[in-house]
Structure 1
Amino acid sequence: MAEPELPPELLIVEDDETFARTLQRSFERRGYRVRVASDPAQLDALLSQRRPTHAVVDLKLGTSSGLPCVQQLHALDPAMPIVVLTGYASIATAVEAIKLGAQHYLVKPSTTDDIEAAFGRTTADPEVAIAARAATPKTREWETINETLAATGFNISETARRLGMHRRTLARKLEKRPVK
């Protein structure tokens, strides 16, 4: 007689309790066994108990980055589907997340359907629409700041000059959303 198939084990690493609880309930209704960690320390504790089959990791965990969590999960099981969620999307963090082992990188708000579909996609889609989601003016501004910072070797004065803004204005913007 065949062994009954175990439900998928989902680990959610998310510091927003309300969003984490919503995701947890939604995935539990779909048959997943779900555990939630709100920071890297809780992740370590949960991984010592059981090994997940799937993971959802928020890119920004309070003042920490979720990228080390992605790296740790990928090292634990390179075949594990890992989806990174973020409200702070940038090309640089998307590239790093994929390099560290994430299977997909989704911008918030993303639904359970979006995440589950990302778990199921194992190949890239060369036909994906380039402008599938319009960026907000703030997102465009932030991406331009990041690109210019990188192009100037993170020289704030030169970046401000190239962007046509006062150096102090740029410094204030960077204080609100530091570049990692």
Structure 2
Amino acid sequence: MIPAEKPSLLLVDDDETFRTVLSRALEKRGFAVTAAGSVEQALPLASANPPEYAVLDLKMEGASGLVLVQKLHELDPATRIVMLTGYASIATAVEAIKLGATQYLSKPANADEIVAAFGHSANADAQFEAQPASVERLEWEHIQRVLRENGDNISATARILNMHRRTLQRKLAKRPVGL
């Protein structure tokens, strides 16, 4: 009797410990896991052998996980993609789903939650209906977005937000509940 081939899964996360633990857990659940620490490392792996499943971190050194969602979807629209992030927001969830992700989960997510997410259809609002974002959280996300647009330049960001530089630095030092 020939053993059934395990479904291929691409795991991309820049946190090496998390990647190793999750990789082992997913292998125990029947997946043939290929792991990478960045979008740049994952692209050649995915191009050589498009995976049936993918688990991608949103925020990594180099390119965003959103870039990889789009590339994987272009390689094979049937790839089931779960986007993981410690920086969940409605905007990034909607963007990930539009680009081809199957589901969007906030960290920490365990292997069982990830495997269950592969079976769900894309519904960006489902994760957020129970608890809308607080004003502090929305402000934090807006500041982060403007900061990224200005190449992490605090002074330029403060000018655009019409805020004193020290005030902005204090706000950046605080993290809103849920982050």
TM-score range, shorter chain: 0.7 to 0.9
Q: Distance in 2 between matches of 1:76 and 1:124?
A: 22
Match of 1:166 in 2: 164
Match of 1:37 in 2: 36
Match of 2:113 in 1: 114
Could you give the per-residue CA deviations for residues 109-152 of structure 1, whole angstroms, max 9, x where no partner exists?
111111111101136498877225x86896454136469x6xxx
1:52 positional shift: 0.8
1:98-137 equivalence runs, <5 A: 98-122=97-121, 124=123, 130-131=129-130
Change (3 A) 1:126 1:86: closer
> Secondary structure of the residue that 1:93 maps to in structure 2?
helix
1:86-101 equivalence runs, <5 A: 86-101=85-100
| One-letter amino acid of the structure 2 residue matched with residue 166 of structure 1 | H
Which runs of 5 or more residues in structure 2 are unaligned? 147-156
Change (3 A) 1:4 1:87: same
Q: Distance in 2 between matches of 1:64 and 1:127?
A: 27
Q: Distance in 1 between matches of 2:134 and 2:115?
A: 25
Which runs of 5 or more residues in structure 1 are unaligned? 150-154
Change (3 A) 1:26 1:14: same
> Secondary structure of the residue that 1:89 maps to in structure 2?
coil
> Secondary structure of the residue that 2:45 maps to in structure 1?
helix
1:175 positional shift: 10
1:18-57 equivalence runs, <5 A: 18-57=17-56
1:73 positional shift: 0.5
Q: How many residues align?
A: 166
> Secondary structure of the residue that 1:102 maps to in structure 2?
coil
Match of 1:82 in 2: 81
Q: Distance in 2 between matches of 1:96 and 1:87?
A: 16
Q: Distance in 2 between matches of 1:123 and 1:167?
A: 40
> Secondary structure of the residue that 1:61 maps to in structure 2?
coil
Q: Distance in 1 between matches of 2:127 and 2:65?
A: 26
Match of 2:141 in 1: 143
What is the root-mean-square deviation in Å for CA atoms of aligned residues?
A: 3.5
Change (3 A) 1:172 1:78: farther
**Cα pair 2:39 2:64 within 8 Å, conserved:** no
Change (3 A) 1:73 1:127: closer
Change (3 A) 1:129 1:12: closer
| One-letter amino acid of the structure 1 residue matched with residue 7 of structure 2 | P
Q: Distance in 2 between matches of 1:78 and 1:54?
A: 11
> Secondary structure of the residue that 2:54 maps to in structure 1?
strand
Change (3 A) 1:129 1:98: closer
